Amino acid sequence: MENGHIGRVTAPTSAYGLRLDQKGNNGKKFTDSSSPYKSCKEKSLLLSFCSWYVVIQEVPTFEATRSLPMIDLSRLEAFVSGPALMEAYLPRGLGLRATIALVGLGALYVFGLVFYRLFLSPLAKFPGPKLAAVTGWYELYYDVIRKGKYLYEIEKMHDKYGPIVRINPYELSIRDPEYYDELYVSGSVRPTDRYKGFVDGVVDFEGSHLATIEHDLHRKRRKPLDPYFSRAGVTKLEPMVADLCEKLIIERFGSLRGTGKVVRLDHAFTAFSGDVINRLCIDDPPNLVDDPEFSPAWFDLFHSGIVSLPLFMGLPWLIHLIRLIPERILARLDARSQTFNKFKLMCDDHLQVAKREKAASGYKGSTLSGGRLTLFRHIINSDLASEFTDERLSKEAQVLIGSGTITTAGTMAFIVYYIASNPAIKKRLQEELKPVMADYPRTKPTWAQLEKVPYLQALIKETLRLSYGTMHRRPRVSPKQPLQFKQWVIPAGIPVGMSAYFAHRDPRIFPRPQEFIPERWLGNVTIEMSRNFIPFSRGSRHCLGMNLAYCEVNYIIAALFRPGGAEFDLFETDETDVIPVHDLIVPLPRLDSKGVRVIFH
């Protein structure tokens, strides 16, 4: 750990991500006569502001400071016994007594904050580590520095403290699958809000249904989206999904047979899922599957965004800071921002065209005559259009396209690995697919027909169990009434979260939970297994795209592993390329993975 220097006191500052260097002007000390700060207020004010701003924001407890470098006490003694030296570092017009008073007030504030969080907060009565109760930097360290590892610390907390723990100054975590349906309820049971601290850091999608905090407003914003993602709505989309699946499996993968080319299936599946959701949402979308390399920039756009999520969630003000940076400068700093800007412009252009067409037609109802009605044309031409500003519609488009791409593609890559790496699983699947896939692609099965293939459904369920859907806790707030969990009364307004990771790996419900065993979903599926299976969450805020994801995965896996289909071998790919080990809201395998790679022959 680097040490910064303020005066003659050696002070560790990198724990706060801030370095205050004693030296400037090519290494000369600020006390040197050549220093432009020798007698200026600016230096002292800057040091005072920076140091106190950081301290006041979050103060580590004694436990956190034990690993920090020791202060040189001999220098400290010389410093405090040298009034003249101290005066040199004080702002003009601010005497020693005033400075000591300010320091004292700062220390009093910090003490009061720590005392409140430990003893007076509504969460003070709940068990958990004191350091987590005092500061959010504890969580930030594990999620930003350790790349999404706080979930495993929460698991240790539950092992030590029990089924309910305080995981930061503001939140509780519960590990009890029996309570899941008590926390994640429909609106008819009670209103449920999102936790603002969670929403603020989910990139820059304020105003979308996903980032809407208040229960009634969320219901209003989600209502026009529900018909498109319902079972009936997705059934209408089947021909489009089936055609895109044929394009990927028959045309693109077929053209790669015998070439010896290494193909990244995670790129291919991300392109496929992107094409599906793009066609649902907007006119004239890009054809990602047609790209010779399956549009790796599209994959990188979402992957890099996922990796940065914990930082933005821990320090949400960074999002507002980035907004101030001109796009041309961002493009120089990170070329991937250009991909995002193109993506954003694509959404904006579609929305503006749809609005102009509505204005020209004078249409007042819910549909326009002629042409394919995309999701956002439907919204713009509905009676609810007045609630959707241009900015909010654009963010809604970005949310739906983003969330409908990366998680579904990850599920496909996961299941393909386990089928391809286990000949017995592959053989059994192919045998069960024979009746419905015998004449493919001349005759395409329906989604309903594929759902009647038991082993295919068992494979999909076991994949979702081990890939989790969303690994991160989903904090919910009961804004009006307290919640009862065992002997604990949780005050209204307190965010409480639960994770699919705990439910899906419960050894009491799923023996040998870390193993991929699709047979567990055949035959007698217990009530407890169904209760613990929550890859899409439940309640009024369950995953909007659940039906579309199931439809896509069924078509892709059936077409890829049908009898007589293209054969391929895994290339330098193992279990670590698919098993999630980083909880970055979206679960990811090891970050240096090169994906699920295959060679068609």
For the cut 70, the answer to whether the pLDDT of residue 99 exceeds it is yes
pLDDT attached to residue 320: 78
* Residues of the domain holding 527: 226-600
Enter the tokens of residue 113: 């904050």
Q: Which of 48-52, 202-206, 369-373, 481-485 is least confident?
A: 48-52
Q: Indicate if 110 and 234 belong to the same structural domain.
A: no
Strand boundaries in 170-261, DSSP class E: 172-174, 193-194
Spatial neighbors of 77 by CB under 8 A, at least 6 apart, are none
For the cut 70, the answer to whether the pLDDT of residue 448 exceeds it is yes
Q: Which of 52-56, 96-100, 272-276, 469-473 is least confident?
A: 52-56
pLDDT tens digits, residue range 225-243? Answer: 898 899 999 999 999 999 9
Q: Indicate if 107 and 236 belong to the same structural domain.
A: no
At 105, which amino acid appears? L
Domain at 445, CATH number: 1.10.630.10
Neighbours of 75 (CB within 10 A): 14
Determine the average pLDDT of the residues in 270-290. 91
For the cut 90, the answer to whether the pLDDT of residue 191 exceeds it is yes
Determine the average pLDDT of the residues in 100-111. 93
Give 224 or 366, the one with higher predicted confidence: 224
Give the three-class secondary structure for 286.
coil
Q: What is the DSSP string of 12-73?
A: E-GGGT----SEETTTEETTSTT-TTTT-HHHHHHHHHHHHHHHHH----HHHHTTSPPP-H
User: Is 131 contained in some domain?
Assistant: no
Return d(Cα 259, Cα 519) in angstroms, integer: 36
User: Is 159 contained in some domain?
Assistant: no
pLDDT tens digits, residue range 33-54? Answer: 333 333 333 333 333 333 333 3
For the cut 90, the answer to whether the pLDDT of residue 250 exceeds it is yes
Q: Indicate if 527 and 412 belong to the same structural domain.
A: yes
Give start and end residues of each alpha helix (H) in 72-187: 73-80, 83-88, 96-115, 130-134, 137-140, 150-161, 180-183
At 246, which amino acid appears? E
Phi, psi (rounded to 5 degrees) for 455: -70, -35
Please check whether residue 401 is in contact with residue 207, taking contact to mean a CB–CB distance below 8 angstroms. Answer: no
Q: Which of 41-45, 78-82, 548-552 is least confident?
A: 41-45
Q: Which of 119, 153, 171 is the last residue of a domain?
A: 119
User: Is 242 contained in some domain?
Assistant: yes
Return d(Cα 599, Cα 511) in angstroms, integer: 34
Q: Which of 41-45, 164-168, 280-284 is least confident?
A: 41-45
Spatial neighbors of 284 by CB under 8 A, at least 6 apart, are 350
Give 189 or 21, the one with higher predicted confidence: 189
User: Is 163 contained in some domain?
Assistant: no
User: Is 185 contained in some domain?
Assistant: no
Total domains in the fold of the chain: 2
Identify any residues that bridge with 483 across adjacent strands, giving them in sequence order: 490
pLDDT attached to residue 88: 53
Please check whether residue 471 is in contact with residue 583, taking contact to mean a CB–CB distance below 8 angstroms. Answer: yes
50's enclosing H/E stretch is helix 41-57
CA 364 to chain centre: 38
Q: Indicate if 421 and 540 belong to the same structural domain.
A: yes
At 428, which amino acid appears? R
pLDDT tens digits, residue range 490-510? Answer: 999 999 999 999 999 999 999
Enter the tokens of residue 447: 């989604």
Determine the average pLDDT of the residues in 9-35. 36
pLDDT attached to residue 563: 95
Q: Which of 103, 119, 135 is the last residue of a domain?
A: 119
pLDDT tens digits, residue range 423-446? Answer: 999 999 999 999 999 999 999 999
Determine the average pLDDT of the residues in 546-564. 97
User: Is 192 contained in some domain?
Assistant: no
User: Is 162 contained in some domain?
Assistant: no
Per the annotation, does 543 bind a ligand? yes
User: Is 546 contained in some domain?
Assistant: yes
pLDDT attached to residue 93: 59
Share of the chain above pLDDT 90, in %: 59
Burial 502-522 (b: 16+ CB within 10 A, else e): bbbbbeebbeeeeebebebbe
Q: Which of 84, 119, 154 is the last residue of a domain?
A: 119
pLDDT tens digits, residue range 296-315? Answer: 999 998 898 899 889 888 88
